[in-house]
């Protein structure tokens, strides 16, 4: 479908909530209406709203005064995949592909294209509709900063800030009580939050999913500081960190989710081992969802606005199935399918990892 034929667009937010979602919704809606005279339809609760036909029109007034709000005014869902949707029939729940139902709802509303805001899971689901001929423009969202095809995602800067501030505050307690203090941050498979927040706060040890740790070397780093008169240590731990020849620590399993494994608790495991092996008192703090909530920092508000504007620009240029991306300092676009079911991980020889090592930070390896 050419750009001149586009009259109506839909917009949805998928996956977990994230600072900056509302800023994107605002930018997309206002640019579409003011610049191009399009009709905009908000889809409630991600792809679940498409399955259940919960779609409503958005006016410019609906997105006013939401720039600074956390979360998403449209709601979101991180469990619904229309290709694997639970349908109850004859008293039993069966998994069915309901993408044709979704396409019917889109046609009923005469929606010409979708703006999908999300991470790798959202882009994976969107790819199914791309293959059915629907033009989807992806906007990269995730606090983990792990989406393939872009150097940065909005939401990451806020999560990094929250984690850094927490580590800074933990620092004073660690120093006062001469403890080894562990702070667990989000990052299932990608350690970008832990790496950036750890470096920014001057953490003594940073544990990442990409660099399996040896608990003996973690303990050595802590005791070495004690021998040199530094009576406390700060350890930043990604929730996906795991020991050499070991497994990630699973908090629980959610069978209703497309990604059922919920990680959490590795900091307590590591903290207990440090205390038993070294005799140094430890405490752990798990930040959890505070990293995803609240007001986005200015950097995320600006990036989200740039991304939202670029999504409409790319769409109206007639491009098909593109992912808005930041490369270097330039907002550009890439093939949406490049981000489907992929993750951008921290390389063990990443320049920031090398810099941290050279100033004495341990990665437990």
pLDDT tens-place values along the chain, 365 residues long: 445 689 999 999 998 899 999 999 999 999 999 999 999 999 999 999 999 999 999 999 999 999 999 999 999 998 899 999 988 888 888 889 999 999 999 999 999 999 999 998 899 999 999 999 999 999 999 999 999 999 999 999 999 999 999 999 999 999 888 899 999 999 989 999 999 999 999 999 999 999 999 999 999 999 999 888 788 999 999 999 999 988 888 878 777 666 677 778 899 999 999 999 999 999 999 999 999 999 999 999 999 999 999 999 999 999 999 999 999 999 999 999 888 778 899 999 999 999 999 999 999 99
Q: At what angle do helices 192-201 and 156-177 cross, to 10 degrees?
A: 50
Domains 3-154+296-339 and 159-293 share a fold: yes
Q: How many CB atoms lie within 10 A of CB 331?
A: 17
Q: Which residue is catalytic, options 17, 45, 112, 144?
A: 144
Q: Rounded to whole angstroms, how far apart are CA atoms 36 and 113?
A: 14
Token look-up 């929730």 returns 239
- Please give the CATH topology (third level) of the domain spanning 159-293: Rossmann fold (3.40.50)
Residues 218, 362 contacting (CB under 8 angstroms): yes
Q: How is the chain split into domains, by residue range?
A: 3-154+296-339, 159-293
Strand order in the sheet with 180-185: 205-207, 233-238, 180-185, 282-286
Known active-site residue 62: no
Q: Which CATH class is domain 3-154+296-339?
A: alpha beta
């Amino acid at each position: 479908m050419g750009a001149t034929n586009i009259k109506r667009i839909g917009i949805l937010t998928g996956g977990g909530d994230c600072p900056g979602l509302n800023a994107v919704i605002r930018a997309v809606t206002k640019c579409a209406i003011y610049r191009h005279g399009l009709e905009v339809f908000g889809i409630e609760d991600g792809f679940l709203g498409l399955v259940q036909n919960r779609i409503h029109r958005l006016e410019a007034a609906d997105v006013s005064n939401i720039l600074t709000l956390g979360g998403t005014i449209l709601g979101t869902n991180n469990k619904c995949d229309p290709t694997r949707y639970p349908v109850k029939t004859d008293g039993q729940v069966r998994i069915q592909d309901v993408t044709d139902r979704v396409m019917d709802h889109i046609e009923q509303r005469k929606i010409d294209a979708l703006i999908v805001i999300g991470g790798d899971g959202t882009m994976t689901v969107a790819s199914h509709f791309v293959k059915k001929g629907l033009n989807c423009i992806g906007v990269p969202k995730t606090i983990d900063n792990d989406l393939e095809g872009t150097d940065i995602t909005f939401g990451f800067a806020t999560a990094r800030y929250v984690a850094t501030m927490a580590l800074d505050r933990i620092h004073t307690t660690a120093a006062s009580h001469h403890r080894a203090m562990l702070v667990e941050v989000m990052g299932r498979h990608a350690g970008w939050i832990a790496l950036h927040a750890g470096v920014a706060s001057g953490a003594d040890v940073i544990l990442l999913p990409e660099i399996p740790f040896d608990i003996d070397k973690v303990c050595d780093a802590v005791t070495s500081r004690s021998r040199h008169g530094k009576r406390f240590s700060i350890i930043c731990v990604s929730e996906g960190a795991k020991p050499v020849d070991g497994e990630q620590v699973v908090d629980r399993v959610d069978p209703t989710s497309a990604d059922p494994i919920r990680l959490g608790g590795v900091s307590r495991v590591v903290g207990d081992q440090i205390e038993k092996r070294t005799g140094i008192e430890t405490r752990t703090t798990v930040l959890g969802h505070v990293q995803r909530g609240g007001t986005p920092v200015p950097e995320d508000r600006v990036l989200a606005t740039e991304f939202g504007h670029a999504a409409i620009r790319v769409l109206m240029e007639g491009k098909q199935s593109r992912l808005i991306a930041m490369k270097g300092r330039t907002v550009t676009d890439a093939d949406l399918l490049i981000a489907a079911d992929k993750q951008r991980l921290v390389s063990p020889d990443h320049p920031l990892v090398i810099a941290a090592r050279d100033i004495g930070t341990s990665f437990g390896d």
